[in-house]
């Protein structure tokens, strides 16, 4: 006899459960960890958070509220949906939220589910996460493998001493990931010795992103230490310097306050131009003006066309804002942080637009990181220009480098 009450078979690609919990990030602050289940398959993602954030980033709710939104609103809506339809999952997240910036559900809740679904889909397809991202992205590469942007001296909002400039980086100029990691690690060891010539162990601290905190009195000093360390290291490839100026952090509403000087937009450009003139290998500069100072970005790029001028607070991984920055000739590079925009699909859309306009993409961590290594898969799967993951000795940062090294074997 036919059983009219027999349940329909569950599709092998259907989401069967979504779970979430509160965990701690690298700054011991609460964040969200999400797992998407598809039968015996699953994907888990722990969401990072930033200390220096742009006004136009999506809204992150307190971790407990985000977990509640996942359990009560997102999970019931997505259970039964195909995990292989990333666009539909991310569209549903936007529809459930109903705002332009995930102010209702929280961008941290949305991103947790979106990335966990990507990882679960890769498992269902029996692919590495980077391989699955490669199929989603389907755009010609910017590089064979991403260059490493390694933040070795922390300042600004990431440190409790030293320069107002937030990051002082080395960039080994090679797409051989193993060689780049070897060189960056060697420069870091040399830098430690260089710093100990002037400072005691008590003077030198470790910042939010694992780099050294140094009680320097000038903007130039950290770059001088880095340049010397790079020169004294047997690298085997060119080593460039980079910086996240994070100009928003010293914007005072009507002017910039930097190193004891009150500067307008043109004055800040002049000050940074002098820094580049003093350090010729400083060829990557992020956020040389505030997030609303597009003119300052355009001026700096016009003055320094050989420099990769990178937007972060200006662009917040947002395709509409990126379009405006391209039209204004404000940038030649962009930081990609998925938690600025809230979903995998939106992140990839921004990257596609950047690739179409030869804007270099640098996939980036946040200051409040977890042990999750998804950004390494994202960087390699999209074959973007660079990966920025902090100093390689901090465990949450090292996890990203180790994942990239494994992928690139």
pLDDT tens figures, 111-129: 999 999 999 999 999 999 9
Q: Which pLDDT score is estimated for 9?
A: 58
In this prediction, residues 97-113 reach a mean pLDDT of 97
Residue 393 has pLDDT above 90, yes or no: no
Torsion of CA 376, 377, 380, 385, to 10 degrees: -50
Catalytic residue, candidates 119, 167, 291, 337 = 337
Which tens digit of pLDDT belongs to each residue from 318-350? 999 999 999 999 999 999 999 999 999 999 999
Q: Which of 400, 399, 327, 326 has its CA nearest to residue 364?
A: 400
Residue 54 has pLDDT above 80, yes or no: no
The model's pTM is: 0.95
Distance, CA of 209 to CA of 197 (rounded, Å): 23
Distance, CA of 213 to CA of 208 (rounded, Å): 9
In this prediction, residues 362-389 reach a mean pLDDT of 96
Strands 333-336 and 308-311 turn out to be: parallel
Which token pair is 170?
Answer: 């080395």
Q: Is 327 exposed, middle or buried (0-12, 13-18, 19+ CB in 10 A)?
A: exposed
Outline where DSSP puts E strands in 52-211: 147-154, 167-172, 205-206
Outline where DSSP puts E strands in 145-255: 147-154, 167-172, 205-206, 212-213, 239-244
How many CB atoms within 10 Å of residue 175?
18
Q: Which pLDDT score is estimated for 55?
A: 83
In this prediction, residues 217-230 reach a mean pLDDT of 96
At 101, phi and psi to the nearest 5? -135, 25
Residue 230 has pLDDT above 70, yes or no: yes
Lowest mean pLDDT among 7-11, 312-316, 374-378: 7-11
In this prediction, residues 215-232 reach a mean pLDDT of 96
What confidence category does residue 157 fall into, taking pLDDT thresholds of 50, 70 and 90? confident
Which token pair is 125?
Answer: 């397809």
Q: CB of 391 within 8 A of CB of 364?
A: no
Which tens digit of pLDDT belongs to each residue from 16-45? 999 999 999 988 899 999 999 999 999 999
CA 404 to mean position of chain CA atoms: 15
Distance, CA of 337 to CA of 316 (rounded, Å): 7
Distance, CA of 387 to CA of 302 (rounded, Å): 25
Average per-residue pLDDT in the chain? 95
How many CB atoms within 10 Å of residue 402?
15
What confidence category does residue 4 fall into, taking pLDDT thresholds of 50, 70 and 90? very low
Q: What is the chain's length?
A: 409
Q: Is 167 a catalytic residue?
A: no
What confidence category does residue 5 fall into, taking pLDDT thresholds of 50, 70 and 90? very low
Catalytic residue, candidates 209, 286, 291, 369 = 209
Is residue 330 classed as helix, strand or coil in its secondary structure? coil
In this prediction, residues 194-209 reach a mean pLDDT of 94
Q: Is 257 a catalytic residue?
A: no
Alpha carbon distances (Å) from 197 to 154, 203, 392? 19, 12, 22
In this prediction, residues 225-242 reach a mean pLDDT of 97
Domains of the chain, first to last: 14-126 (3.30.390.10), 137-408 (3.20.20.120)
């Amino acid at each position: 006899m036919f059983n009219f009450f027999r349940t329909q078979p569950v599709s092998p690609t259907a989401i069967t459960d979504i779970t979430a919990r509160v965990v701690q990030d690298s700054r011991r602050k609460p964040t969200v960890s999400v797992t998407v289940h598809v039968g015996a398959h699953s994907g888990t993602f722990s969401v990072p958070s930033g200390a220096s954030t742009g006004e136009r980033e999506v809204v992150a709710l307190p971790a407990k509220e985000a977990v509640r939104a996942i359990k009560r609103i997102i999970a019931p809506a997505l259970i039964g949906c195909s995990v292989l339809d990333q666009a539909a999952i991310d569209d549903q997240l936007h529809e459930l939220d109903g705002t332009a910036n995930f102010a209702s559900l929280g961008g941290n809740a949305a991103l947790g589910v979106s990335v966990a679904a990507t990882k679960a889909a890769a498992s269902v397809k029996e692919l590495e996460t980077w391989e699955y991202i490669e199929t989603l992205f389907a755009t010609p590469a910017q590089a064979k493998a991403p260059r490493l942007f390694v933040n070795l001296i922390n300042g600004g909002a990431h440190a409790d001493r030293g320069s107002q400039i937030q990051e002082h980086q080395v960039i080994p100029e090679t797409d051989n990931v193993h060689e780049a990691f070897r060189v960056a690690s060697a420069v870091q060891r040399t830098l430690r010795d260089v710093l100990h010539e002037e400072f005691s162990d008590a003077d030198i601290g470790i910042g939010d992103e694992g780099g050294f905190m140094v009680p320097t009195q000038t903007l130039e000093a950290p770059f001088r230490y880095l340049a010397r360390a790079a020169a004294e290291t047997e690298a085997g490839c060119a080593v460039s310097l980079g910086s996240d100026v994070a100009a928003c952090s010293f914007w005072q509403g009507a002017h910039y306050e930097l190193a004891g000087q009150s500067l307008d937009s043109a004055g800040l450009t002049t000050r940074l131009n002098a820094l580049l003139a003093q350090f010729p290998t400083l060829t990557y500069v992020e956020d040389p003006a505030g997030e609303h100072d597009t003119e300052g970005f355009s001026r700096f790029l016009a003055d320094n066309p050989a420099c990769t001028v990178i937007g972060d607070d200006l662009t917040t991984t947002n395709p509409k804002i990126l379009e405006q920055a391209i039209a204004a000739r404000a940038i030649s590079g962009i930081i990609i942080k998925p938690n600025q925009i809230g979903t995998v699909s939106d992140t990839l859309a921004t990257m596609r637009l950047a690739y179409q306009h030869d804007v270099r993409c640098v996939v980036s961590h946040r200051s409040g990181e977890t042990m999750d290594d998804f950004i390494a898969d994202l960087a390699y799967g999209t074959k973007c220009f660079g990966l920025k993951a902090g100093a390689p000795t901090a465990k949450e940062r090292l996890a990203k480098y180790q994942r990239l090294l494994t992928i690139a074997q």
